Chains A and B, each alone.
Chain A
Amino acid sequence: MSQQKMPKQKPEERVKNFFEVALGFSKEQALLEAKRCLQCKKPFCVEGCPVQINIPAFIKLIAEGKFEEAIKKIKEKNNLPAVCGRVCPQETQCEAVCILNKKKMAINIGSLERFAADHETTTRKITGSNKATKSDKVAVVGSGPAGLTAAADLAKLEYNVTMFESLHLPGGVLMYGIPEFRLPKKIVLQEVEYIKSLGVDFRPNVLIGKTYTIDELFKQGFKAIFVAVGAGLPQFMRIPGENANRVYSANEFLTRMNLMKAYKFPEYATPINIGEKIAVVGAGNVAFDCARVAMRLGKDVTLVYRRSEQEMPARAEEIENAREEGLKFKLLTQPTEILVDDKGFVNGMKCLQMQLGEPDASGRRRPIPIKNSEFILDVDTVIVAIGQNPNPLLYKSTPKLKVNEEGTIWVDENLMTSIPGVFAGGDIITGADTVISAMGAGKKAAAAIDNYLKKVK
C-alpha cells in the first residue's frame, strides 16, 4: 500500500491567498494511511515524540474508524494536536524513526494527528472539564506553546491556573509568528478555548516584569510560577544601513502580518510598507515564513543565505513549498551593507559571494568570503530573519533570577530557576527552538511544579 499524501492548494493559486496550503486528509485517506501502520510492539515513534504520544494506539483507533477516541488518546499527552499536526517537524522526529522509513515509506503521523484533531473540531464543540479543585494557585507567564501546555497539564492536575500574556491575543509565536497559511489562527484559538475550558484563567495585556513583578505574583498568593516567555528578541546583522526604512526584523514583519493582520489593511488598521523587490536574509523556518508571506503580497522575493541549500535549517517541506510558489534563492551570499537613499529608504543591498570551507562547531561547513566578489542586490526591502534570542525583559526586572551567558534563564534538572517556586521552560531556557520542544518543556515543568507543590505542603 502506498503512502497517502495530503492534498495541497496549487502553488499558482495559493501564492495569491492566505488560506491554508495543506488541505488535510479525507476520511478515506486517513483510513488507508492508518491501516499501513505495523503496530510495532516496541514503537520507536513514541520515543521520537517530545511529548510521548501513544502513536500506534491513536493510529489503530483511526484505522477502526473510532476518530473521537483517537483524539482522546492523543490529548492524554498532547494539548495542542491541531497545532502539532501542522507545524511539528515529524520528518526528524516520530516519522524519522518509523520502521517503515527505512524504505522511505514512513507513516504520515503528522497528517493523521491533524486529521483526528480537525475531525473533532468540525464535528462538535470541544470542551474539557474544569476540575480546579486544589486551592493552590499557579501562574504561567506567556501563552505560547510551552505556557499553553503547562497550563493545560496543571489544570488537569486540578490546580488553579492563571496564564498571563503581554499581547492582546493568546498563543505567543503561534499567533504572531507562524503565518495563517501554515497554521490558521482559528485553529490556535480553538485549541486555546479547549485549554480555557479546563479551567485556566487567561489574562491578556499583562506584562510580567512591568505590570507585575515575580515577587508581586507570590504576594498575590501564587505558589509556583512557570516562566515561558520565549525567544522574542530579534537578532540583526549589525551592518551599516540596518535602521533604514523598509528594513524589518522577521518578528516585526510577521507580527504586523499575522497578529495584526496587516494583509487585510485597511480593514485592519495596522499598516505595512514594503516595496516590490524583497530580500529575506536567513534560511530557517521563520525566514521561509517571511518569504512566503511577502510572495502572497505579490512581491518579487529573494532568499539570501550565506551557506548552501544543504545547510538550510528550515524544514524540507517548507523549502519545497516556497520554491513551488516562486521564491528565488541567492545562496552563498552574505549581506555587508544596506544602501539607503536620501529619504532614508532601502536602495539595494551590498553582498559578498561566499564559498564553503571546513565544518564549524555546528557541524555545517563554514562560509568564507570570496575576495573581490562584492556585488549589489537590487532590492528595496530587507527582512532580517537570522534568529531570535531569549527575551530579557522578565529577568531584567527580576535581579534574583540567575541567567546564563547566552541570555537564557538558568534552570536545574527539574526546570526550577534560582528562585524557589519559579520554573522556566521553552525557548527562554534553550534559545529559539521548535513548537514541540517547547511543549515538551511545558509538560516537564507541569510535572515538576506538581512535585514541588506536593513537597512544600
Chain B
Amino acid sequence: MHSIRSKKILAPGINEIEIDAFEIAQKAKAGQFVIVIADEKGERIPLTLAGWNPKNGTIKLIFQEVGHSTKTLAQLKLGDNIHAILGPLGKPTEIKNVGTVVCIGGGVGIAEVYPVSRAFKNEGNEVIGIIGSRSKDLIFLEKEMKDTCDQLYVTTDDGSYGQKGLVTEVLNKLFQAHKHIDVVYAIGPVPMMAAVAEYTRPLKIKTIVNLNPIMVDATGMCGACRVTVGGKTYFGCVDGPEFDGHLVDFKELRSRLNLFKEQEECLNKRCPSKNLKNG
C-alpha cells in the first residue's frame, strides 16, 4: 500500500507528497525515478525521486500539475493510496569526486536537482547551485539548496526574485569570473537543458542532462521514450535518464514530448474523443 503520509504545496501548482514505499526507499539513489499510477484507470507516468527515507520507508515526490495525471495525483488526500508505484528506475547519477560541479534545476527540476546536489556535495565536491523559474512564487527548496551548495544562485525570468534572466546567464558570469568548472548537471524544461548544453559545448565542460521523455512501462519494453544521443537511439527509461547533454537531440525530444498534447487537452476537458470508439 502506498499511502500518502504528508502533503505540502511548495508553490502554486507544485506539490510535494511523501508516500509509503518501503522497498523503493531502501534502494533509491540520486537521479533515479519511479513510475506512478494515480488511480485504477490512470496512466503510467515517470516522476523523478525528490527524496527518500530508508528508515521511515518513504519516498518524496515533487511534481507540477501540468496534465490530467499530475492533477489527479494532486487531488489525493492525506492517507489516500496511490494505485501503483514501480521503482527505483533508471541508472543513478554517477557520483564521484570530480572537483567543482554546477547543479542546475529549472522549474519543477529544482526539486530534482536537490538530491543530486546533495550527493555531489557528500562526495566532497565543490557544488555551485543554480535554480531558476518563471517568477518568485515558483522558487522553492531555496533554503535546502543554500544549505547544501557552496554557492547558490537564483534566477527568475521576470526578475521578481534573484537575478533576472536565464540560468545560462549565471553560467556565463561564472565563466567571465574565470571560475573553473568540471561538470555541469542540468535538469528541467527541455529548452533550458538545451541552452545549458549549447553554452557549455564550446567550453568543453562535461554536461549531464536528466531527460524526461514520455514512458509507458519504463522497463525497456515499449520504446516510447526513444531519444537520439550522438546519432544513436537510446531508451530513456533504461539507458538513461541521464545523457551527455552535448550529444542529445533536444529538438526531437521536444517534438516527441508534444505527441499527446491534443489528447491531454481533451482529457482535461473530459470531452468525448472524436477519433476513438469504445469496445
Contact = CB atoms under 8 A, between A and B. Distances in A.
Report whether chain A binds chain B. Answer: yes
Interface of A: 16-19, 166-168, 176, 180-181, 204-207, 210-212, 232-234, 236, 242-243, 245-246, 248-249, 251-252, 255-256, 260-274, 296-298, 343-344, 391-393
Contacts of A206: 23, 86
B42 interface: yes
Interface in B228-279: 228, 233, 238, 252, 255-256, 258-260, 262-264, 266-267, 270-273, 275-279
B9 interface: no
Nearest to B232: A238
Given A245-B255, A263-B276, A344-B256, A268 B238 contact: no
10 contacts: A18-B278, A176-B217, A207-B87, A207-B219, A236-B233, A260-B44, A263-B279, A266-B263, A268-B41, A269-B267
Which of A246, A260, A263 has the largest number of chain B CB atoms within 10 A? Answer: A260
Contacts of A344: 252, 255-256, 258
B216 A232 contact: no
A265 B271 CA distance: 10
Given A211-B24, A242-B233, A393-B238, A265 B273 contact: yes
B233 to A, nearest CB: 6
A271 B216 contact: no
A123 to B, nearest CB: 26
Contact of B216 (A18, A204, A252): A252
Given A16-B277, A266-B267, A270-B44, A343 B255 contact: yes
B119 interface: no
Contacts of B146: none
Given A210-B27, A260-B44, A266 B270 contact: yes
Contacts of B259: 245-246, 273
A251 B224 CA distance: 9
B223 A234 contact: yes
Contacts of B217: 166-167, 176, 232, 255
Contacts of A249: 222-223
B83 interface: yes
Nearest to B85: A205
Contact of A251 (B41, B69, B223, B233): B223
Interface string B30-46: 00000001000111100
B239 to A, nearest CB: 10
A392 B220 contact: yes
B228 A252 contact: no
A269 B220 contact: no
Given A211-B86, A264-B279, A392-B220, 6 more contacts: A210-B88, A234-B221, A263-B278, A268-B43, A271-B264, A344-B256
B256 A245 contact: yes
B221 A243 contact: no
A233 B221 contact: yes
B260 A233 contact: no
B220 A270 contact: no
B86 A205 contact: yes
Contacts of B278: 18, 263-264, 267
B220 A168 contact: no
Contacts of B164: none
B5 interface: no
Contact of A255 (B83, B216, B266, B267): B216
B69 A269 contact: yes
Contacts of A210: 27, 87-89
B220 A391 contact: yes
Contacts of A167: 217
Given A245-B256, A266-B267, A393 B228 contact: no
Nearest to B252: A243
A230 B222 CA distance: 13
Which of A210, A246, A298 has the largest number of chain B CB atoms within 10 A? Answer: A210
A234 B255 CA distance: 22
B7 interface: no
A156 B32 CA distance: 39
Contacts of B170: none
B84 interface: yes
Contact of B279 (A168, A260, A274, A296): A296
B219 A166 contact: yes
Given A211-B87, A265-B273, A269-B43, A252 B263 contact: no
Nearest to A267: B41
B226 A265 contact: no
A63 to B, nearest CB: 35
Top 4 closest pairs, chain A to chain B, by CB: A18-B279, A344-B255, A271-B263, A252-B222
Contacts of A393: 219-220, 238
A252 B216 CA distance: 7
A207 B238 CA distance: 12
A273 B263 contact: yes
A17 B279 contact: yes
Which of A243, A246, A344 has the largest number of chain B CB atoms within 10 A? Answer: A243
Contacts of B264: 271
Contact of A207 (B89, B258, B279): B89
B273 A266 contact: yes
B68 interface: yes
Nearest to A169: B84
Contacts of B41: 261, 267-269
Contacts of B276: 262-263, 265, 272, 297
B132 to A, nearest CB: 27
Contact of B221 (A204, A232, A270): A232
Contact of B228 (A233, A243, A264): A243
Contacts of A392: 220
Interface string B179-217: 000000000000000000000000000000000000011
Contact of B271 (A261, A266, A273, A391): A266
Contacts of B228: 243
Contacts of A181: 279
Given A243-B233, A270-B44, A271-B264, A236 B219 contact: no
B190 to A, nearest CB: 13
A271 B267 CA distance: 9
Nearest to A394: B219
Nearest to A299: B275
A251 B222 contact: yes
A205 B256 CA distance: 26
